[in-house]
Amino acid sequence: MRFWRNGKHKKSICSGNGKKIPSLFLWGRDVYILKRRFMKRIIFIMAAVLMATGIIYGAEKDILSEGDFFPELIFERADGKTFVFPESEKEIINLLVITFSRPKEGMTESWFLPFKKEFEGNEKINYYEAAMLGDLGWLQGFITGAIKGGVPEERKKNTALWLGNGKENLKKKLGISGDEYIYIFLTDMNGKIRYMTKGKKAGKEDIEEIIEKTYEILKLWYS
């Protein structure tokens, strides 16, 4: 039997059992093998892409966002008392204004004081400005003593220090992108983050947005 490809006669060769195998058949087999190899590579690449996507997605999910529960952290107030944030067991709204480095004068106050003025006296709302110091080792007593001593008496119960371990991991969890910013977290009665933002000195619109969000939480909770 003769086999043709592109108008040219293709010779036959013998197989191991003595039967002749047309070279066209061998050409078709080679194409089939190449196709299989190509498909294996495509599948491998797709699997690698999916794995990478899963890893990236998982990393993104490790960063807190609105609707997530704020991680429980132990703080020490400037008046010497300790507390766990968020204070969900008290069923209160919390505003946490945090810094990871010494802010410029007036930066934290621009976020904290207008909120305090609006809600002072409301037993269902609390607020803290907190310095995220981490573990300071043998210098801890000296540094924290100096910080607490510089806080005005009327602000001691609302000024807090975080002195825990794993500072870098916490920064990743909270989505801290730069120590020069102030980071704001508003949590509801269950400890869920209902609003979060960052900035330097707060503007009028920033404060209005936080206050409006707080009233929304109060309305939903007591409606």
> One digit per residue, pLDDT tens: the chain, 223 residues?
443 444 444 444 454 555 554 444 444 555 455 556 656 666 656 655 445 444 433 444 578 889 999 999 999 999 999 999 998 778 899 999 999 988 777 888 899 899 999 999 998 999 999 999 988 888 888 888 988 988 899 999 999 999 999 889 999 999 888 888 999 999 999 999 999 999 999 999 999 999 999 999 999 887 7
Tell whether 99 and 164 lie within a shared domain. yes
Q: Give the separation between CA 151 and CA 118, rounded to whole angstroms.
A: 21
pLDDT for position 106: 82
The verdict on residue 66 lying in a domain is no
Residues 6+ apart with CB under 8 A from 111: 97, 129, 182, 184, 199, 202, 206, 207, 210
Tell whether 77 and 145 lie within a shared domain. yes
The verdict on residue 27 lying in a domain is yes
pLDDT for position 150: 87
Burial of residue 144, with CB atoms counted within 10 A of its CB: 0-12 exposed, 13-18 middle, 19 or more buried: middle
Can you state the angle between helices 107-119 and 204-222, rounded to 10 degrees?
A: 40
pLDDT for position 63: 84
Sequence-separated contacts (24+) of 15-22 with Cβ below 8 Å: none
What angle is formed at CA 190 by the lines to CA 63 and CA 170, rounded to 5 degrees?
A: 30
Query: CATH number for the domain including 192?
Result: 3.40.30.10
The verdict on residue 78 lying in a domain is yes
The verdict on residue 68 lying in a domain is no
Q: Give the separation between CA 8 and CA 3, rounded to whole angstroms.
A: 9
- Tokens read off for 192: 């869920």
Tell whether 180 and 77 lie within a shared domain. yes
pLDDT for position 47: 52
The verdict on residue 31 lying in a domain is yes
Unique residue bearing structure tokens 């892409």? 49
The verdict on residue 92 lying in a domain is yes
Tell whether 41 and 87 lie within a shared domain. no
- How many structural domains does the chain have? 2
Tell whether 94 and 174 lie within a shared domain. yes
Residues 6+ apart with CB under 8 A from 134: 162, 163, 164, 165, 166, 167
Tell whether 56 and 88 lie within a shared domain. no
Residues 6+ apart with CB under 8 A from 140: 163
pLDDT for position 211: 96
Tell whether 57 and 78 lie within a shared domain. no
Tell whether 49 and 153 lie within a shared domain. no
Per-residue 3-state assignment (H helix, E strand, C coil) for the chain: CCEEECCEEECEEECCCCCEEEHHHHHHHHHHHHHHHHHHHHHHHHHHHHHHHHHHHHHHHCCCCCCCECCCEEEEECCCCEEEECCHHHCCEEEEEEECCCCCCCHHHHHHHHHHHHHCCCCCEEEEEEEECCCCHHHHHHHHHHHHHCCCHHHHHHEEEECCCCHHHHHHHHCCCCCCCEEEEEECCCCEEEEEEEECCCCHHHHHHHHHHHHHHHHHHHC
pLDDT for position 38: 58
The verdict on residue 210 lying in a domain is yes
Q: Could you tell me the residue range of the domain that residue 27 belongs to? A: 3-61
pTM recorded for the entire structure: 0.70
Domain boundary among 61, 89, 106: 61
Tell whether 78 and 57 lie within a shared domain. no
Tell whether 57 and 161 lie within a shared domain. no
- Let me know: does 168 contact 72? Beta carbons within 8 Å: no
Tell whether 107 and 189 lie within a shared domain. yes
